[in-house]
Amino acid sequence: MKIPAKTISRLSLYYRYLHFLSQQGTFSISSKSLASMVGLKADQVRKDLSYFGAFGKTGFGYNVLELKNALARILGLERGRRVAIVGMGNLGLALVGYKGFEVLGFKIGAVFDNSPNKIGKKYRGRLCYNVKEFSAIAAQEGIEMVILTVPAEVVHEVTGAIVAAGIKAILNFSPVHLSVPKSVHVTNVDLATELKSLSYFVFGQKTAARNA
């Protein structure tokens, strides 16, 4: 069966709320309550889960811990993945300190930059390596995923090195399209684009004059 990509990102969302609920000691939850927490309909939650199996008990709901563990398995989170951040500019720096990653099982295993000012310095306790050494350090540190926060000018070069090192997952914050082999998964997070879309919904004009 073909599973929609949107289903996957919703599963990630559910996982976060289940994590929270399990910390609260909540034992069970219905699709309806879970849905209202994340701002969706109960149908959607059940359909999403149904792609992967039947996790609930009829007339009862879901066991929070069981469902959380099932989602961890599905999402590949059973063991903490080691992540590198490449590019110690503003954004990279902020992400090194972002607690949301560690809580959910990701470990920042190494950070990289190309500037002599930054290489060798420590950021939140992590030594910054030369991006030229990426392949060696990534292997040594068991890096499996990369968060890419470098400026547009060096994206292609850096991406080449990351792909060559065998990394298959890149979360790309730089505002350019990455060309990578199909076997490498890229998710783009584009802050300026998000703002522009938002601008349309509030201020944009729904139609434009035909060109003269």
Partner DNA sequence: GCGTGTGAAACCATTCACAGCT
Partner DNA sequence: AGCTGTGAATGGTTTCACACGC
Instruction: Restricting to residues 22-51, name those near DNA by CB under 7 A.
Output: 30-32, 40-44, 46-47, 49-50
Which residue lies nearer to DNA by CB, 43 or 102?
43
Under rule CB under 8 A, which residues in 68-127 are in contact with a copy of itself?
70, 73-77, 81, 83, 90-91, 93-95, 97-98, 100-101, 103-104, 106
Under rule CB under 7 A, which residues in 51-90 are in contact with DNA?
54-62
Which residue lies nearer to a copy of itself by CB, 67 or 137?
67
Under rule CB under 8 A, which residues in 37-66 are in contact with a copy of itself?
37-39, 52-55, 66
Under rule CB under 8 A, which residues in 10-39 are in contact with a copy of itself?
11-13, 15-16, 37-39
SS3 letters for the chain?
CCCCHHHHHHHHHHHHHHHHHHHHCCCEECHHHHHHHHCCCHHHHHHHHHCCCCCCECCCEEEHHHHHHHHHHHHCCCCCEEEEEECCCHHHHHHHCCHHHHHCCEEEEEEEECCCCCCCCEECCEEEEEHHHHHHHHHHHCCCEEEECCCHHHHHHHHHHHHHCCCCEEEECCCCCCCCCCCCEEEECCHHHHHHHHHHHHHCCCCCCCCC
| Residue 50: CB minimum distance to a copy of itself, A | 11
Under rule CB under 7 A, which residues in 151-210 are in contact with DNA?
none
Which residue lies nearer to DNA by CB, 10 or 118?
10
Chain contacts with DNA (rule: CB under 7 A):
2, 4-7, 30-32, 40-44, 46-47, 49-50, 54-62
